[in-house]
Structure 1
């Protein structure tokens, strides 16, 4: 491999590492927002899903 090609690969790797570090806050925000949505949806739909599950089990078991 030529020296110029190695230097080019090193520059690309360095750029990729720097880009990844800058994107971490975005991923943290996406993760927190997703967790928040899951909590809100679960709070709203939880009782209805629980009731639906209990009805299904009652029908299957014949109680």
Structure 2
């Protein structure tokens, strides 16, 4: 019982220490986000009209847009 009480009292300190030690690689995540956005823009530029027509046709088939 005494051990479990000690563990509960140490929990906040452990959580704070863990949060500080795992902040992550912010520049890496920024780079991944920018690269993903670039790929989306490139794909949209190359196949945008086709993607829109595919979406519109599929919505027509299920009867949501344009009946």
What is the TM-score of this pair, normalised by structure 1?
0.53
Give the total of aligned pairs: 58
Moved more, 26-35 or 6-15: 26-35
Sort the Cα spacing of 1:4 and 1:53 in 2 relative to 1 into closer, same or farther, 3 A: closer
In the alignment, which residue of structure 1 is the partner of 2:19?
20
- Equivalent residue in structure 1 for 2:30, among 29, 32, 38: 32
Report the Cα offset of residue 12 of structure 1: 3.4
Instruction: Calculate the aligned-residue CA RMSD, in Å.
Output: 3.2
Report the Cα offset of residue 6 of structure 1: 1.6
Query: Any unmatched runs of 5+ in structure 2?
Result: 59-67
What is the TM-score of this pair, normalised by structure 2?
0.51
* 1:2-47 deviation per Cα after TM superposition (whole angstroms, max 9, x unaligned): 44432222223311221112212x1634542331122221232121
